[in-house]
Each structure stands twice: as C-alpha cells, then as structure tokens.
C-alpha cells in the first residue's frame, strides 16, 4: 500500500479484517517492521483518539513518531498558490510539505473540510498536496471528505459483534449546535457499502449526502421507520451538503437525539458513535451508558485499524 485515503486503497477487505484480528491477538507481532522508520503526524485540527491511537499503532510497529500541530507553534500556512503573501501567513504549504517529508518516512494528515469552498473540500486539496509534494506515503487521519481509519475501526467493531452475516446497520443524523463535516458519515457509508451489509441512512430533509458516498444505501427520512429491526445504530451529526446550504446547520431538532424511544424499535441494537460526542444532543446518557453501547471498544479498535494500515504502508516501503 502506498497511500491510504479511502476504502479503495484496501484491495481485499476480508484480508484486511483478517489482519486486524491477527494484530488484535498480538499487537506487537510486527514490532521490527518499523525499526528506524519515522512517522510524522500533522494536525490542522484537534484530536484525542486519532493522535493517541495512531501513535500507539506506530509504537506497536517499532516506529519513531513526530507530531506537529500546525495551529500550535508552527508558522501559519498559506495554502493558495499565487497569493501575494503580505498578510498574516509567513510560510507557504508548498515549501512546508516537502520540508516535512524530508524528516520522515510516512506522513499522516488531519485536515477537515473548511466549508469555505465545496469544490476545494471535495477535491481534497490539502491532502492531495501532501500526496503530491511530500515524496512520502500519506494516510488520512480525517480529511475533508473521509475518515477511513475511523470507518475501518467501525467495520472491525461490527464484525466482532454481529450475530448474522448481513446485519442491518442504520446511520442516523443527530442534532449538534455547530457545523460538522460529512467526512465521518461519507466514509462510514463507503465502508458499509463495501462490506455489503443491509445499510440504511436516515436524516431530516436537506441533509442528503453526496450520492457518490450513499451508493446502494436506502435513504429513509422517517427515523423511527429506519430504526425498525436495526442490529447496529451509528449516530453522527453532519452539516448540509447540497447546493447553497453546503456547510450550514439546518436543524437542531432534538427529536432526532438517539434515546430509548428509538432504540426500543430496533433488534436490541448496538449503539455506535466515533466520539467525541455531545451527550443529550446526539445521544442520551442512558443509551450511551447502556450495555449495548460500543463507543469505547469502537475507539479502542482505532489502534487496530491504524496498526494494519501502517503495517501495509511499511511493507510497501521496501
């Protein structure tokens, strides 16, 4: 594997899952693979899980790790080419990227959608510049349109808990006070479609996702109907995608907050969320604390997905 930015970079999903369970059984099995190799993690946005689990994954493989928080201590970066740099940004990303590449063997990048320009976001302008100019394998630690390390961990978690080959998985929009990217739901949809589960997406009108990610999923606007018989409920907020509403919050309707009311019509479904989660906006205390909540094992599986991805990238270096 050279770069990892979406499910399409995994050629065999079944094999990737087998590797995940192999690593989960012995996470230090490949502890020599990353000897004298350096991972650089570059964060344009905050993180708890991604930074810790990816660093842990690199340590499992014997790598060295450098972390750069662009907004804390680095020069403010200009990202547009052709700009006369007489403003508040002393450095251009076109120099910064190859410089970063010169200090490491692999680069992880977190760069959320900025909601300034839909085309730039959906063309993954920042992530693609890292791929083009760093000279290193690059993997996404959540970019503008996808969060593949999260979705891989979600898939591992579902595989561990499912009791039928093709469980019913429901992705539900839930309210949130601020505009959040579509990366997590886009990516989750892409991986659920690749896994060929019985997959339903539910959200209020106006929150339609990019059809390229929705794929074969059924879209159901009635949340209660969508939840009927679900084996897994995956909650997430996202801001509007379509038309002029791109990046806008159209609703904070707390009828969509996942509570016992909706969970009661499921097939005793497991509850999932990528975290961080706002309690009693996205999900009630009772549901997230219930025995059916998978949020902690799901987060723990981030170490596993990151270890599998870094292992495959390291194997491609040779």
Report the residue number, 63 or 158, with the smaller CB distance to ligand AN0. Answer: 158
Q: Report the residue from 39, 42, 171, 180 that binds ligand AN0 according to the rule CB under 6 A.
A: 180
Beta strands of the chain (E only): which ranges? 38-43, 64-69, 77-78, 91-92, 106-110, 138-140, 168-173, 198-202, 218-220, 232-236, 270-272
Q: For residues 60 and 31, is the Cβ–Cβ distance under 8 A?
A: yes
Nearest to 191 by CA among 3, 2, 1, 4: 4
Q: Report the residue from 1, 97, 125, 274 that binds ligand CP according to the rule CB under 6 A.
A: 274
Site for ligand CP in 203-262 (CB under 6 A): none
Site for ligand AN0 in 125-154 (CB under 6 A): 142
Q: In the chain, how many H helices and how many E strands?
A: 12, 11
User: Is residue 177 near ligand AN0 by the rule CB under 6 A?
Assistant: no
Residue 264 interacts, among ligand AN0, ligand CP, none and using kind-specific CB cut-offs from 5 to 8 Å, with none
Report the residue number, 183 or 308, with the smaller CB distance to ligand AN0. Answer: 183
Q: Which residue is nearest to ligand AN0 (CB)?
A: 180
Task: Give Cβ neighbours of residue 197 (< 8 Å, ≥ 6 apart).
Answer: 158, 166, 167, 168, 169
Report the residue number, 78 or 154, with the smaller CB distance to ligand AN0. Answer: 154
Task: Give Cβ neighbours of residue 37 (< 8 Å, ≥ 6 apart).
Answer: 62, 63, 64, 105, 106, 314, 317
Residue 119, judged by CB atoms within 10 A of its CB (0-12, 13-18, 19+), counts as exposed
Report the residue number, 104 or 125, with the smaller CB distance to ligand AN0. Answer: 125
Helices 148-161 and 183-195: crossing angle, nearest 10°?
50
Report the residue number, 157 or 266, with the smaller CB distance to ligand CP. Answer: 157
- Which listed range, 19-27, 159-167, 180-188, 293-301, lies at the site for ligand AN0 (CB under 6 A)? 180-188
What DSSP element (H or E) covers 133? helix 125-133
User: From the CB of 185, what's the least distance to ligand CP, in Å?
Assistant: 13
Which x/- pattern over 257-276 shows residues binding ligand AN0 (rule: CB under 6 A)?
A: -----------------x-x
Report the residue number, 142 or 298, with the smaller CB distance to ligand AN0. Answer: 142
Place of tokens 């060929």: 196
Site for ligand CP in 48-87 (CB under 6 A): 48-50
User: From the CB of 178, what's the least distance to ligand AN0, in Å?
Assistant: 7
Residue 183 interacts, among ligand CP, ligand AN0, none and using kind-specific CB cut-offs from 5 to 8 Å, with ligand AN0
- Which listed range, 61-69, 119-127, 161-169, 178-186, lies at the site for ligand AN0 (CB under 6 A)? 178-186
User: Is residue 41 near ligand AN0 by the rule CB under 6 A?
Assistant: no
Q: How far is CA 115 from the centre of its chain?
A: 17
Q: For residues 303 and 57, is the Cβ–Cβ distance under 8 A?
A: yes
Q: How is residue 165 annotated by DSSP? A: S
Nearest to 131 by CA among 122, 140, 120: 140
User: From the CB of 47, what's the least distance to ligand CP, in Å?
Assistant: 3
Residues lying near ligand AN0 in the complex (CB under 6 A) are found at: 142, 180-181, 183-184, 274, 276
Binding site for ligand CP (CB under 6 A): 47-50, 142, 150, 274-276
């Amino acid at each position: 594997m050279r770069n990892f930015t979406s499910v399409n970079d995994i050629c065999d999903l079944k094999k990737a899952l087998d590797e995940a369970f192999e690593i989960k059984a012995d996470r230090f099995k490949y502890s020599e693979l990353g000897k004298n190799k350096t991972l650089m993690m570059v964060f344009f946005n905050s993180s708890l899980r991604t930074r810790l689990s990816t660093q842990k994954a690199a340590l499992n493989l014997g790598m060295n790790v450098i972390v750069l928080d662009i907004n804390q201590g680095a020069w403010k970066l200009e990202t547009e080419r052709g700009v006369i740099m007489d403003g508040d940004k002393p450095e251009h990303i076109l120099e910064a990227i190859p410089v970063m590449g010169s200090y490491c063997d692999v680069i992880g990048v977190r760069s959320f959608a900025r909601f300034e320009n839909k085309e730039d976001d959906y063309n993954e302008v920042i992530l693609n510049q890292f791929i083009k100019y760093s000279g290193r394998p690059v993997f996404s630690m959540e970019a503008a349109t996808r969060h593949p390390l999260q979705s891989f961990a979600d898939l591992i978690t579902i595989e561990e808990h499912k009791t039928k080959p093709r469980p019913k998985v429901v992705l539900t929009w839930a309210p949130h006070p601020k505009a959040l990217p579509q990366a997590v739901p886009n990516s989750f949809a892409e991986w659920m479609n690749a896994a060929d589960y019985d997959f339903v997406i539910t959200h209020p009108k106006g929150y339609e996702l990019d059809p390229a990610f929705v794929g074969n999923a059924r879209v159901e606007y009635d949340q209660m109907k969508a939840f009927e018989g679900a084996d897994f409920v995956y909650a997430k907020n996202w801001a509007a995608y379509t038309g002029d509403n791109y990046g806008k919050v159209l609703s904070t309707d707390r009828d969509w907050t996942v509570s016992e009311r909706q969970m009661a019509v499921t097939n005793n479904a497991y509850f999932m969320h990528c975290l961080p989660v706002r309690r009693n906006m996205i999900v009630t205390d009772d549901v997230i604390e219930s025995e059916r909540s998978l949020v902690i094992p799901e987060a723990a599986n981030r170490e596993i997905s990151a270890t599998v991805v870094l292992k495959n990238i390291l194997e491609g270096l040779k």
